[in-house]
Structure 1
């Protein structure tokens, strides 16, 4: 692929080549051979290494092509042969390291591995976690070399046409912010942004624990800004697929891409995802993301056989910095694009050995067809170059050859590693690979030429700008005000360029060395003239600056003399002020001593106050403790007295109840006696006649029984009855509908004067509650009439008494023998009832 070297701007200087010199040089394709170690100890080899470049192959008796072979041994020559003892690092240093140098110097390169399936192509290209392959080591060396010269992300932006644009710092910062915002949004929505792994993939990235070589770096142009972009595609069944396309994850199928030609006649995969990476670790992660989507399958010869050709491309974009050595020049024409394509070809295989059928058989056919097209292209190219013919090379017959067309027709270094399994069983496939490798070495490719654009800027401006910024930052830290106004002058950095080119020549007809030397000397002469003119200008400016400094010096001397006179007067004033200052300081010292004494007294008093507060708090705590103990003792005594009082009251209640029973018995006896007396008197009067005189005792008793309680002359209206409801103490609620009927009443709790029962009332009711001998609640209502007395007072004549007794119902047993009922418990009370007993006593007069 041709490097994107577009015409320089009009102000740039371009060194012309001398006329008549040969500007086109061709180099053969370099082919290296790597032998895989034997898989089993019982395997036999059919190859023998006789030198570092030559292998002798001995066909076995069972080989299919042994009948057509005239000699028993076939000798094949390569650029170099690597045995199974050669390490990955040695292969990289010999084969791939020069290609990385081409990449940094702006030249294109192509490296691909070729061989039968299971010969170690993928291991050579990628390696594993214990021993990294060519691709990880290329990325390590490249990033180690350009680590300090990379531009910020999105300064170079792909233009979708295989080129790049240079963005301003503001646009690049906006793109970085959008990328950060999209990443945070994807994490918030639970999208990791990475494709899911298949069952055949590993659980970790095998290249993160790679072998690194931090000390090995390559020389780069320090006044350029660099940026790295990577792409990863595969060619499967003669169709190109992008392994880094995130949109394909949503559709769950890879979309085929097309191969196009850009404005510089370079072939590229249109709309392929190109990712800018800033470290080797980031590039490994991108490669591993595409590796998870690469098509592999199990065959009889290889457990993980690649079913497609994979192409991992590293593109290095570089552009010179401006005259101050800070920003990349905003001109697309000065951009230099170089690329290194690492191709892992799928292995050629025979159906009778792999036992493929169906989809695997179709894949094997497409793989073999693309490899045959590559071989046909190489044969026609060799014929055109050796015999001078102009046959059309069938690049378009396969997407693999179409993609790398400009490497063979254009300019770029091409190298191939042939991976071989030296077993006797693989002889038939290996001999075809050897013939193709030997034929490929005869194809010549145009040597890439590097054309540097000289913009007339001073070399070393990046380092000078760095030194200037460090010096200004040190001045700012020291507090120097003039550091802010300093300006950079990169003209003071003088350099005539790099060392002389190599003058060793192996071909007497090679004019390239003389051409390069002339070009180099012309550049040095031009730079020397520029630096000489700059030096003369600097000398003239220095003379003018010295004259102005001398004039300023004379002026400063005059100013200095006047300042000295002023200074002497100021010194006298200072001496007087110092005397006053001494007196003031002595007064301040005495005041400070007094202040310290007062502070000491305050601290002492504060300490005493704290001690007293502590003692007072302790006393309060002691009082609270004594009070708590006193309250607990009082509570205990109160409880004890309450229990004793309750016992006494219970005893008195029982005693009174016994007395009441005795009185009731006596009253019944008296009543019985009276009844008996009346019956006896009636009987005697009957016997003696109706006209017998009564005895005085009988008359007195009869008079006493028939004496009226109230004055019969006093009459009252029953419709105007007003009651006095006397309730001495709060009563317990009766919980029954049987309540005393008093329509017009006045409730009182205590009789304080006779007026309360004489003021417009005529009936009196006293309500009392107590417990009977069985502990049941008994409510008594004493009712009577209020009669006025001759002395202006009133008397209460109790006419009746109502007794309301509430008793808990006792359990009743069901009389019927049937046990079927409503499920009630017969041993517990079903409901509550209230029994009322009313006793009418003898009227009693209360004055």
Structure 2
């Protein structure tokens, strides 16, 4: 690309040929200025002069660093060729820029602000201009006056480019570099002297010299870490370039058009317009003729063969005819030369005066000092000459005044022109500011609309959350009511079981033949502190009177027979089975047990006879196992740091569409707790709930059985013979169990 000092490369030759061609027609510096939108604006001569002075002042104030000092390029080889057929009625200038694509990010190599300060480089973005051409936004474009200045910018960018040491190369480029040379031209005015101030007539030509980083194989370079990532991005961008070439070749060969993936890489996306007919592409391949590089060279040559089949056609011809009179520059040059030749002769002396003060002196010959014929005639000639001189002086003064007025008019015209141009520039700035203001106002309106929409959406979310909370609260209230009812039902069931046990005890006592014995004289029934039903209180007193007046066990038996017997059917009017089974032998369970669950040694472990254990249940598991019950084992840490196991149970039903649904019915919790200290104070019956009042009332008289004694309210020691029968003893054993 660059070559050496003796044999220069492609890029220096391009710069030499370019400046050799446009050197006679170059515009003054700072006439053209980039507008950051992939086009250029034209300044006036006064604005350009002010900009040149400003840059010269800033350059003189700062001390040039080593990288900014001028380098002597006179010893390098200069190309002397030129290009014919250039339009002489245009003014030309050249801008250069230098960027690199590193890890699919674009960085500016000529931006001094990014390299002078130790900070992270910011990448540049790709944009599309009004003509659908791609360009790099906010890239630094430097105006150069000759090839050496452009070459100096190239050297500066090369020093900032990313290179690294690899196993194959001492300095291996880790990025694709792009050096852009932009030739700007604009037509001259009717006088052929200044550039015509019309941005729409500015034409831009661009030459992009791309140095692609070479593809690498990890097996040969042994890259690791950052170098491996860089090599991967290089190979990926080259593969995208090859894919684009293949798509272009297939689109030309077939009628079915494929979408070319330009956007997959910044390299292909930047030069998209070149491949679509807005430019020309030339590929120069560099090969290393070594046997070790045979595989890499083979892939490169295959890629080159693909590019030979791709033909890029220009989408439209560029019309460079501006409708102005040709030859304006040359006519202006000839006019200036004629004016200069009229003022000075070739020898450098002034030419003769173009006008005379009057006619020449007459040729008189005076023979005597008092010649009456010659002296009057000479005096008359002198008077005429003096009058003519006075008239010429008046004319000269008048012309001088006219000339000064003309100069003042010209000066005022120039000032007016400059003011008009400044006014136009200010008007243009004002229009741009107004456009920007309108854009900002539209953005503000859009932001306000978005804010209003966000507030409405937030309100809708609040309403939805409030409704969800209300529904969840109702759901939990229903669930709590259901649990309370279930708890009440369980308590009533326990009460019923207690009543049933008392009834059985009463029946055993009533049906057992025993000797009558006197009640103990010191027995006193403990009164109840809580409220009792009135009938129950009256019955207890009557029982106490009978018990105190009874003299044998038969009286107690008769008393107990008077107490109404409770029946199983008396509990809520339905019969309750004595023995209930939780699961039938035909129940089949599908146990959902994750692998990370820990087996605990808690009591009341789940015992399932027929089950199928799965880690994650699937749709087929319900059909294959023919399960009609489902249980989920879930473990989590409780507040005391112990593992709490939850068994979530449910019934499995078949749906009409052939699937299965689970209806959750129960949740069991298995926990580990420390031993609870038993309170030494016993709970009094008065501290209980009012629901237990009836049971305690009915249990106010207890029948106690002791070994070798008869069942009675008060016990009396028996004689040595065994009074209690064998059947009686078995009955008491059942009660204990």
TM-score relative to the length of structure 1 = 0.41
The structure whose Rg is larger is 1
RCO higher in structure (CA 8 A, sep ≥6): 1
